[in-house]
Structure 1
């Protein structure tokens, strides 16, 4: 566990960074953004932009975490999940997350409320669709900043886990898109510290490719480490997102999870189908996710599960 002096130093400098972000005006923004010195081929740029734009639209439609991480406007998302494993009764889980842009900060500072983002990854595989079921319903409330440096989007935040006694945290999220011609890669990394759990590190590398106007392929590799458990979880997921109509899409996913407890080995394989449909105006969605999994703790025997989700979204992107 880090010393109190070090933790105060980290917290103080993160707070100063947040305040500096809120004070930076439009004329100073160039100091944080490095402009390429050489011209970029127009065709290459156009193709990459099309892939990146398609990936963002897919993430927004499916309500993926990527879309929430990059949300700059005020937004509210409410989810009601009904999940059931084979032979078990259905369980209900709900979650809320919101971002509120603070006035007078040119959208550089936001209040962020969400279900504790650290809990699901602590003991469950990253590829488990029902990993949040049975977890406590702790929430975090924090202040998030926004900046750019050398092509990276930076999202520093300070806040508390809303339980008693209050559990302060500090977090830095960094995101970068890399153009690779017909492919676009998204690299993201998060370093976090909670006073009760210590340090956590998360990293994700996605590769997106547009197959045609209606289909996007994605390869996602994730890694998560927690100090308090000294365990590292990894996952590899391959996805095909298919637009069926303007109000309905399918996602086909296969993947595997692994951990290093006590040594590196695969602990789960899975195949999942996600059907998502816009059911009311522009902001109410229904998600149906049947999954077949082969977990190590069941001797890699087949297990079936079903997740049904009602999701309500409010904000500029859903008007």
Structure 2
């Protein structure tokens, strides 16, 4: 029978259609999906997701000095991160003359505590402090950057092995402040000009220009950077860097890095070659083995240091508290290439208003 023959048929037909649809959705032939909370419950997640057993998820925390101290540290991260973000936003608005701050402010404060034990030398804990005040102004091509140190004034070997050194082993540098003008030449090449000074008395003015590029070569990734700089007290210099990397399977990635630095006043080249492997073991830890060699042209081309290290990095809490263990071995010309081993422990805290903290 055609239901449209009756005056009330349209309403009745719509009801019939609705009943049929509901029966199709909730009828016995349809298997209901489990609730999301049940799917993501600790009992349902795979064991490799956790760094503890699923039964420990329900345990009540025990009151202790460690719990009180850790809660204090967590409160400090929340408080200081907001302050750093507010400071960066205020300085950005003030310098740009715009009432709104840019969203990509990358300011951070990094605090650490490191202890290194070398051959015939006991471990000694040293505090570490690094900071960056990164202020994108209202103009997209202009930035103000204040950093605790300048890469250009750090020896090349120290740059390559920065994570292996404690703060007292690093070169003494001064904070720098610079106004950076950014230009995009193409989709893969960027150009920047920086004018600033080392923040000390009397100030040491500097200028540097950099050009960077990134390209994809089939399965490989190639990046290059060329930089020329001038510091009023240290003179001219230049650096060239090439990096070539790819994914090599089973979660491992490979990166080969070549770098050369020219010091004009010393008439010397410093060169470094490193081979870097990286794998994220789970959602908390990662592994980073490396081998490398550093050399120079004073008086002739020769290698100065050969090293190898393995960094195991563990995320202790959320995305701002990390721990590291770095065993390493090196052969240095100054020690007649005698074997020297070391083991470094480090804990780092990142205070930042930006989700990108590295």
Q: TM-score, normalised by structure 2?
A: 0.63
- Residue 191 of structure 1: which of 216, 228, 252 is its match? 228
1-structure distance, mates of 2:117, 2:192: 35
1:148-297 paired onto structure 2 within 5 Å: 148-150=184-186, 151-212=188-249, 214-297=251-334
In structure 1, list runs of 5 or more residues that go unmatched: 1-71
**Distance change in 2, residues 1:126/1:135 (3 Å):** closer
SS at match of 1:300: coil
Contact 2:270–2:295 (Cα < 8 Å) also in 1: yes
1:130 matched to 2:165? The reply is yes
- Residue 120 of structure 2: which of 87, 97, 105 is its match? 87
Q: CA deviation at 1:131?
A: 8.7
Contact 1:125–1:233 (Cα < 8 Å) also in 2: no
Q: CA deviation at 1:287?
A: 2.2
Of structures 1 and 2, the one scoring higher in RCO (CA 8 A, sep 6+) is: 1
Over the aligned positions, Cα root-mean-square deviation in angstroms equals 2.4
2-structure distance, mates of 1:82, 1:173: 35
**Distance change in 2, residues 1:308/1:115 (3 Å):** farther
SS at match of 1:74: coil
280-289 vs 185-194, which deviates more?
280-289
1-structure distance, mates of 2:158, 2:138: 41
2-structure distance, mates of 1:96, 1:120: 15
Q: Which residue of 2 aligns with 1:19?
A: none
Q: CA deviation at 1:148?
A: 0.8
1:61-100 paired onto structure 2 within 5 Å: 73-80=105-112, 81-89=114-122, 90=124, 92=126, 94-100=128-134
Count the aligned residue pairs: 248
**Distance change in 2, residues 1:264/1:183 (3 Å):** same
1:107-146 paired onto structure 2 within 5 Å: 108-121=142-155, 124=157, 127-128=160-161, 129-130=164-165, 133-146=169-182
Contact 1:112–1:144 (Cα < 8 Å) also in 2: no
Larger radius of gyration: 2
Deviation readout 1:4-58 (Å, 9 max, x if unpaired)? xxxxxxxxxxxxxxxxxxxxxxxxxxxxxxxxxxxxxxxxxxxxxxxxxxxxxxx
Contact 1:290–1:306 (Cα < 8 Å) also in 2: yes
Q: TM-score, normalised by structure 1?
A: 0.71
Q: CA deviation at 1:95?
A: 3.6
1-structure distance, mates of 2:301, 2:263: 16
Q: CA deviation at 1:99?
A: 3.6
